[in-house]
Amino acid sequence: MIDDLTRSLAALLHTHVDGVEVRTDRPEAAWSGGRGRFLSVSLHKVAEARDRRQADWSDVRDANGGVLGRHAPARWFRCTYLVSAFGPDALAEHAMLGRVLAAAVTMESMPVEHLVGVLADETDPIVLNVASRGVDASDWWEAAGLSPRPVLEVMVVAPVRPPLDTQVAPPADSLTLDARKLPSGMAPAAPSAAGERRWTAFRIRENAPADDA
């Protein structure tokens, strides 16, 4: 799922940032040479969205209503990407990041036309947030051998859906009812205390009116 999510985000940025090249490989020190204009999309963190956990399984049925299998509930994950810009000067890089920000704030979810792979058939919206937490990326740049540079944090919330569980019991094809006569002298079982009801009958008697004197 994560590779499809990365490709989907790259396709979205390529479309909405004037067709600028989008790279998804690791940032390298050679990129700081000031040649070309492109955006770098790097996966920074993956964490489960525990607030979106569900417990309900869903049945998949055939045309006759028979159960073909059961789906466990999806698990949702927040994937945080760092989007940085490389260009001939700082203003050019800021302009590219500004276009990313302007495009992202108009969307609450990933447009379906940009979703690829397993996400292409996803029926639930893939939530998109930008600059929501303010990630400190200084360690990230140091590990890549690059001096710190401005980034936009783009967080996407996407599901991982377990495969269909087809180990289900076959449907019943017959029903057997059994009835028999109780032996002589055996009374039916008394109802349980919980189901027993008691009714009380009473009668109201009125005195006849006295004769007029």
Q: Determine the pLDDT at residue 160.
A: 83
Least-confidence region, from 18-22, 79-83, 174-178: 174-178
Q: How far is CA 14 from CA 21, 24, 42, 157, in A?
A: 6, 12, 15, 20
> What six digits make up the tokens of 70?
């059961």
- Mean pLDDT of all residues belonging to the chain: 76
> What six digits make up the tokens of 24?
């998804």
Q: Determine the pLDDT at residue 49.
A: 82
Average pLDDT of the residues in 13-33:
78
Pairing type for strands 127-130 and 151-160 reads: antiparallel
Of the two residues 63 and 83, the one the predictor is more confident about is 83
Q: How many angstroms separate the first and last alpha carbons of the chain? A: 104
Is 82 within 8 Å of 151 (Cβ atoms)? Answer: yes
The residue type found at 140 is W
**Euclidean distance between CA atoms 7 and 116, whole angstroms:** 7
Q: How many CB atoms lie under 10 A from the CB of residue 155? A: 19
Cβ-based neighbours of 181, under 8 Å, separated by 6 or more: none
Least-confidence region, from 81-85, 97-101, 170-174, 178-182: 170-174
Q: Determine the pLDDT at residue 105.
A: 86
Q: 83-141, pLDDT tens digit by residue?
A: 988 888 889 889 999 999 988 888 888 888 899 888 888 888 888 888 777 677 777 77
**Euclidean distance between CA atoms 69 and 61, whole angstroms:** 7
Query: Domains in the chain and their CATH numbers?
Result: 2-53+67-160 (3.30.2000)
> What six digits make up the tokens of 159?
């599901």
**Euclidean distance between CA atoms 45 and 28, whole angstroms:** 19
Least-confidence region, from 9-18, 50-59, 116-125: 50-59
Phi, psi (degrees; rounded to nearest 5) at 9? -65, -40
Q: Determine the pLDDT at residue 123.
A: 84
Average pLDDT of the residues in 51-63:
68
Of the two residues 185 and 17, the one the predictor is more confident about is 17
Average pLDDT of the residues in 203-208:
53
Average pLDDT of the residues in 146-163:
82
Angle between helices 2-16 and 90-104 (to 10 degrees): 110
What are the residues facing 46 on neighbouring strands?
Answer: 79
Q: Determine the pLDDT at residue 213.
A: 43
Q: How far is CA 150 from CA 25, 46, 96, 195, in A?
A: 18, 21, 11, 73
The residue type found at 13 is L
Q: Determine the pLDDT at residue 212.
A: 47
> Percent of the chain, pLDDT > 70?
68
